[in-house]
Structure 1
Amino acid sequence: MPDRTEEFDYEAALNACAAGEQAALRRLYDQESARLLGVAQRIVRDSALAEDIVHDAFIKVWTGAGSYDPLRGAARGWMYSITRHLALNAVRDHGREVMVDDDAAAAIDAKASMERWADVTDAFAFRASAGQIGDCLEQLDPVRRNCLLHAYVEGLSHSEIAERVDAPMGTVKSWIKRSLASLKVCLS
C-alpha cells in the first residue's frame, strides 16, 4: 500500500486554509487526524483528552495557517508540532491539578459557602443574630446546607443548584424545603 503522505501537498493545503478555504482544512483533517490523534494519545494517555487536543490543534492550524513559514520546516511537521505542544501543555496542566474525592469536594464547597454566608452583612446587624442560625445550619447535612446557602446567599436558581451539586432538580427542591423546615424547628 503506497504512503498517501508522499502525494499530499501539505503546504498547498495550509496556504488554502490561510486563504479561508474550509475544504482545505477538511482535506488536512482527513489526511492527518488519525495520526495526530495517535501522537496526542501517546503523550496524554487519555482518549477523550487526546480527541480534544486534536480538535484544538486543527483550530490552531486553521487560525494560524497564515503564519506558517516553509523556511522554518515542513508543513506536516508544523502540524505535528502544534499537536505535541498542546498535548504536553495538557500533561503539564493536569499535573498541577489536585484530585479530590466527592466527600472532600463537598466539604470544600460547604466551607466556601459558609465563609460567603459569614461575610453577608446588612443594616439590621444580621451578624448579631447569626449565632443561633449558624448553629442550626451546622446541624444540617452539608449537601442540604449548601443547597440552602446557594439559594438564599448566592441567589442561585434550583436548576443552577442542581447542576452545581450534581443532583436532580426535584431532589434539590425537596432538600431545600426539608432544610427550611429543620431550620424553623431549630430556631423556635
Structure 2
Amino acid sequence: MATKKTNYSEEDLVASLKQNNREAYEYLYERYSGALFSVICKVLRDEEKAEDVMQDAFLKIWKSITSYDPAKGRLFTWMLNIARNSAIDAVRSEGRKPILDDITENLDRTEQNASYQPSTSTLDLKALVENLKPERKLLVDLVYFQGYTQEEVSKELNIPLGTVKSRIRTALQDLKLYFNI
C-alpha cells in the first residue's frame, strides 16, 4: 500500500497524525513497522504472538498520539517504548519473565564485535547500536531488545543500578548523534 506523500518531516507527520490523517498513518506504518516488529520479536521470541502485539502497539500509538510530546523525545523513540512495553506486558501476562540470552554468551558476542563498525548512514537501529562501546551495547541490547528492566540487568550482571542507568543514558545520547538530533 503506497502512500501519496512519500516523505514527511517529523513535525508534519505528527501534526497529520493528530488530525487522524489516514495517509499519515499508512506512512507511519510503512516507515516504522519493520523496526518495531523486530524489537517485539526479540522480546517475545514468537513471531505469531509478535504480530498480535504489533497490532496492539499500533492501536495504542493511534489512540494516544495526542499525548505525544516532541519536547520529551523523538516520535520513533516514543513508539519504540510503546511497542517494547506492549511486548513485555504480553510476556508477563503469560506469567513469565522476558527470556534473557545467557549473559556470558552476550558478553562474549559483545566483546567479539567490539571492533565492528557498520555504516552509520543506515537507519538500522541494531547496526547503530553496534557502534556503541561494548558495555553500553550489552546494556542497550538487554534492556531495549530483550525486555529486561534496568533493575534485572543490574542484578544479573552484578553492576550497581546507578551505573546501569548512566551507561544506558550515555548510550542513548551517543545514538542521538547518529540521528543528528
- Structure with more of its chain in helix, by fraction: 1
- Range of TM-score over shorter length: 0.3 to 0.5
**TM superposition score normalised by structure 1:** 0.45
| Structure possessing the higher radius of gyration over alpha carbons | 1
Q: Per chain length, whose mean CA-contact separation is higher, i.e. which structure has more relative contact order (CA < 8 Å, sep 6+)?
A: 2
Q: TM-score, normalised by structure 2?
A: 0.47
